[in-house]
Amino acid sequence: MDPRIDRRRFVTCALAGAMTMALGLQGGRVARMLGAQASAAAATHRLIIGEAMAEMVDLRPVYVRTFGTAEGPTLPGPVLTAIAGDAVALEVTNTLDQPHGFAVAGTSIRSGPIPPGATRTVEFTAPAAGTYIYLDPVDAPVNRLLGLCGVLAVLPSSGNTPYTAPTPAVRRLFDDLGGTAHFPGEPWRPERTRVWHIHTIDPRWHDIAARGGALDPARVAADNLPQYFLLNGQSGYFASHDPRSVPAGRVGQPHLIRIVNTGVTANSLHIHGNHVYVTAERGVVARDALMIDSWRVGPLDTVDWVLPFRRPPDIPGPPDAPLREVLAQELAYVDRYGVRQSPLIYPMHCHAEPSQTAAGGNYPGGLVTHWEITGDLDGVDFPPSTTTTRTRR
């Protein structure tokens, strides 16, 4: 093995995407809103451009470049959070031997090339509330595809929606959550948010980069055959059993899901159990909050979904019976291995062919996760043994 690889940090699935970095004066509150693990409050927020070896779902180590923190590299980069209008100062250090940079796609926020070993402070005002991709624009799309990318989530300073200027349809949807017969329960709360960061890896280009070889951006863009399909840096079982990725709550506890695609393929995300509402796409708040169960997310797309956490309509038994009673009756079957066959867990997977047929992407080893109902509308949680994910947290 190349001796340079031996010196690189090794990122396992357990470390991937482990942190949210809260930016701005109100950053601590933002981190709590997103229900994520936050970095300690600090006057200066710092990203470190570095490299690592990341373990894929089949245990293969793959060289990646990362936006990390003082705690180490993460794949993808940490979720950056801010409140619209906040002043942000972000210190970016390049530890690699070639120029790299930082930019927020679709905005004027950018560092310019950062020389090897140098640090540059990027000062900006947090943009309008929404979901953004940050990345290294140098030699695009090479560095983004090698792992230098992440999510910037911006919340409004006020209001009951995730947006600075919601359209009438989106405003009404959020007003209705928890306040109408169709959406009984509770309103959306910002801490009920999950990020689904989709990414692809073609190991051929990563291996060349690991050896210090030069990569032609046009060739990488035109000849890219992904072998791994990641959600928040993980695949298959690992993505689907990470509570940072899994929306989980009682009936009537709606969640917002921020989805970004930094890979090279278009993915068709399909969710079971509930339909979702598309509230924003590519930085634009939706004119009509469409109710769908599948949605195309192309390269560099962003999309926001509202998962209403309604009682699924196909559950057997009386529709007014508490689900905890149904779980003890119609859904009580357990196989001879002790595995419950009908937990209230519903998959999300990709319908696009590449993520289903490429090596390492085969369902359920590729782009897949799930959401989970953990309790009844009346506020009573199910026993811990009822579902599978909760017992592993």
Which helix (H) or strand (E) segment holds residue 387: the answer is none
pLDDT digits (tens, 9 = 90+) for 114-156: 999 999 999 999 999 999 999 999 999 999 999 999 999 999 9
pLDDT digits (tens, 9 = 90+) for 47-102: 999 999 999 988 999 999 999 998 899 999 999 999 999 999 999 999 999 999 99
pLDDT at 316: 78
pLDDT digits (tens, 9 = 90+) for 272-281: 999 999 999 9
Q: Once rounded to an integer, what is the mean pLDDT over residues 263-276?
A: 96
Q: How far is CA 350 from CA 76, 128, 331, 354, in A?
A: 19, 30, 27, 9
CA dihedral 96, 99, 104, 110 (to 10 degrees): 130
pLDDT digits (tens, 9 = 90+) for 285-340: 999 999 999 999 999 999 999 999 999 988 877 888 888 888 887 777 787 887 77
Structural domains in the chain plus CATH codes: 3-161 (2.60.40.420), 168-195+214-392 (2.60.40.420)
pLDDT at 37: 45
Question: Is 11's pLDDT higher than 90?
Answer: no
Where residue 15 falls among pLDDT bands split at 50, 70, 90?
very low
Cβ contacts of residue 55 below 8 Å, gap of 6+? Answer: 10, 11, 12, 13, 61, 62
pLDDT at 369: 93
Cβ contacts of residue 218 below 8 Å, gap of 6+? Answer: none
CB atoms within 10 A of CB 384: 10
pLDDT at 390: 41
Where residue 360 falls among pLDDT bands split at 50, 70, 90?
low
Q: What are φ and ψ of residue 154, in 5° steps?
A: -115, 130
The beta strand positions in 2-44, using DSSP E, are 9-11, 20-22
Q: Which residues of 286-317 are buried (b: 16+ CB within 10 A; e: fewer)?
A: beebeeeeebebebbbbbbbbbbbbbeeebee
The closest of 34, 19, 152 to 90, measured between CA atoms, is 152
**Structure letter (DSSP) for residue 391:** G
pLDDT digits (tens, 9 = 90+) for 173-188: 999 999 999 999 999 9
pLDDT at 22: 63
Dist CA 212 CA 97 (whole Å): 10
pLDDT digits (tens, 9 = 90+) for 209-262: 999 999 999 999 999 999 999 999 999 889 888 888 999 999 999 999 999 999
pLDDT higher at 22 or 238: 238
